Amino acid sequence: MRQSKLFTKTLKQAPKEELSLNAQLLIKAGYVDKLMSGAYTYLPLGLRVLEKIKDIVRTEMNNLGGQEILMPALLPKEPWQKTGRWDEPGEEVMFQFQGRSGKDLGLGWTHEEIVTPLMKQFVQSYKDLPVAVYQIQDKFRNEPRAKSGLLRGLEFSMKDLYSFHANEDDLLEYYEKSKTAYLNIFKHCGLEARIVEASGGDFSKFSHEFQVFTEYGEDTVFYCSKCDFAQNDEICELKAGDKCPECEGEIKEAKAIEVGNIFPLKTKYSKDFDFTFTDKEGKQKPVIMGCYGIGPSRVLGSVVEVHHDDKGIIWPEKIAPFQVHLLKIGDSDEVDKASENLYQELKEREIEVLFDDREESAGVKFNDSDLMGLPVRLVVSQKTLKKQVVEYKFRKEENSEELSQEELFSKLK
């Protein structure tokens, strides 16, 4: 893509009222636009990142046997009354209002109330189990103060998967597999997530959160410095300095961002909706459920919180909007021609490239490139042409190197 055709521009300053670091950087670099607190427009570059994250999530969910569906975000009151969640937590979490017909409606913040009766129509026998469905959709939360940018929105992107099983052992086996899938997703997105025990509600000992440790996090996690033990502050009875209950290690405290969670629902919702199946002996039994959430928009915000420096964003390779930022420095015919040729060559080799072909000064282009944070920067200038090289630099490293075209293409592979 040619940057001269990109309608978005970088900004010198983020809006003053934007307090979160992730949104400040994303707005300045031209990835998102703030409509209001908790609601952002994804501009072309931001949408490319969001879609890449969704693709990574989708691949892992398909590997888990999940079948993709899309449920409405606009929901009727009745199924929520069945579980009690229309009133508790009610409007504290859910946007609720009436249509012109007088019908009570709400915007979805989770979909157990919709997916359970949906699957009840199709699952009758043990032969129909296990089964898992998921969707990637915008969800809504009636947040009183949405001030964390993409980390906590009124509207946000969510992947929610629901699994249905004939017995608890089967659920737990799937639940463990989902942990591996989740860790894969975060790794591909450049995040190191830790599995943390959290409250399981009334129906399970634990649920699990996936937490990324960063000083900017809203959550507090207590973890062992030696083993995998980790709990969130809502359930942890230990404090920093205590001895780990599982080994000799010391408990430490960290700030963290929750990027995913998984929950063994067991029969909580199947009981509310009388969702049963016929087992091998012909007996009716409640279906055992699990649910599994990841917010792609929150992952995007978390990546920016973790991967940046004082100049701008540093995208991990797999979710960068483009792999290469090609900068044309200077406006001689020679430089025009050489940079244009390199741009075409990169495209032919199917390397994702953003070509800064604008008539701007070198300073503006270098600053924009650092702010936008694509993994590799290439420079074609009078100086590089004289040496018959291209300047090659990783965004995350200080030093650049000079490569011949041949060396360049073998390196980009």
247 binding Zn ion? (CB under 5 A): yes
In the numeric block, the tokens 């008539």 are attached to: 359
Closest to Zn ion by CB, 211 or 302 = 211
Closest to Zn ion by CB, 158 or 244 = 244
* Choices 80-88, 126-134, 225-233, 317-325; region in contact with Zn ion by CB under 5 A: 225-233
Closest to Zn ion by CB, 51 or 242 = 242
Helix (H/G/I), strand (E/B), else coil: 230: strand
Least CB distance from residue 230 to Zn ion, whole Å?
9
Least CB distance from residue 242 to Zn ion, whole Å?
11
Q: Is the peptide bond before 15 cis (omega within 30 degrees of 0)?
A: no
Helix (H/G/I), strand (E/B), else coil: 84: coil
Are 297 and 140 in contact by the 8 Å Cβ rule? The answer is no
Closest to Zn ion by CB, 39 or 238 = 238
Least CB distance from residue 241 to Zn ion, whole Å?
14
Helix (H/G/I), strand (E/B), else coil: 35: strand
Cα–Cα separations (whole angstroms), residue 374 to 46, 55, 141, 345, 396:
12, 19, 32, 19, 9
Least CB distance from residue 112 to Zn ion, whole Å?
34
Q: How far apart are CA 195 and CA 292, in angstroms?
A: 13
Helix (H/G/I), strand (E/B), else coil: 296: helix
240 binding Zn ion? (CB under 5 A): no
222 binding Zn ion? (CB under 5 A): no
Contacts of Zn ion in 374-403 (CB under 5 A): none
* Choices 57-65, 150-158, 162-170, 227-235; region in contact with Zn ion by CB under 5 A: 227-235
Are 59 and 189 in contact by the 8 Å Cβ rule? The answer is no
Least CB distance from residue 229 to Zn ion, whole Å?
4
* Choices 107-115, 219-227, 281-289, 393-401; region in contact with Zn ion by CB under 5 A: 219-227
224 binding Zn ion? (CB under 5 A): yes
H/E element, 13: none
251 binding Zn ion? (CB under 5 A): no
Rg (CA), the chain: 25
244 binding Zn ion? (CB under 5 A): yes
257 binding Zn ion? (CB under 5 A): no
Q: What are the phi and psi torsion angles at 47 (to 5°)?
A: -65, -35
78, 192, 234, 246: which one binds Zn ion (CB under 5 A) = 246
Closest to Zn ion by CB, 68 or 246 = 246
H/E element, 261: strand 251-266
CA 114, 120, 126, 129 torsion: positive or negative? negative
Helix (H/G/I), strand (E/B), else coil: 27: helix
222, 223, 229, 322: which one binds Zn ion (CB under 5 A) = 229
Closest to Zn ion by CB, 201 or 249 = 249
249 binding Zn ion? (CB under 5 A): yes
227 binding Zn ion? (CB under 5 A): yes
Residue 56 burial by Cβ neighbours in a 10 Å radius (0-12, 13-18, 19+)? buried
Least CB distance from residue 208 to Zn ion, whole Å?
17
Residues in CB range of 7: below 8 A, 6 or more apart = 44
Q: Which two tokens mark 316?
A: 């991990």
* Choices 60-68, 157-165, 218-226, 315-323; region in contact with Zn ion by CB under 5 A: 218-226
Closest to Zn ion by CB, 103 or 243 = 243
Closest to Zn ion by CB, 74 or 247 = 247
Q: What are the phi and psi torsion angles at 348 (to 5°)?
A: -60, -35
Closest to Zn ion by CB, 72 or 245 = 245
Residue numbers of the site for Zn ion (CB under 5 A)?
Answer: 224, 226-227, 229, 244, 246-247, 249
